Amino acid sequence: MARWKPNGRERLVVAALDLFAEQGFDNTTVAQIAERAGLTRSTFFRHFGDKREVLSAGQEALSRLLVEGIDSAPADATPLTAIAAGLDTASGAMTEFNRELGPRLHKAIEANDELRTRDAMKSIGLATTMAQALRRRGVAETTAQVAAELGVLAFRTGFTRWSTPSVDTAPGKLITYTREAFAELRAATAELR
Mind listing the pLDDT tens digit for each residue in 49-87? 998 888 877 888 899 999 999 999 999 999 999 999 999
User: Which CATH number does 58-190 carry?
Assistant: 1.10.357.10
Comparing 14-28, 65-79, 80-94, 155-169, the range with the smallest average pLDDT is 155-169
What span, in angstroms and rounded, lies between the C-alpha atoms of 8 and 13? 9
List the one residue out of 72, 94, 69, 87 whose CA is nearest residue 151: 87
Comparing 1-5, 108-112, 116-120, 156-160, the range with the smallest average pLDDT is 1-5
Do 8-54 and 58-190 fold alike per CATH?
no
Q: What is the pLDDT of residue 1?
A: 34
Kindly list the distances between the CA atom of residue 48 and the CA atoms of 9, 44, 52, 99, 164, in Å, as whole numbers in the listed order.
9, 6, 8, 21, 27
Architecture of domain 8-54: Orthogonal Bundle (1.10)
Question: Which long-range CB contacts under 8 A does 185-192 form with residues at least 24 apart?
Answer: 185/150, 185/153, 185/154, 185/157, 186/80, 186/150, 189/150
List the one residue out of 46, 49, 39, 139 whose CA is nearest residue 86: 139
DSSP tag of 56: G
Taking the domains of the chain in order of start, what are their residue ranges? 8-54, 58-190
Q: What is the pLDDT of residue 4?
A: 46
Quickly list DSSP for 12-37. Answer: HHHHHHHHHHHH-STT--HHHHHHHH
Average pLDDT over residues 16-31: 90
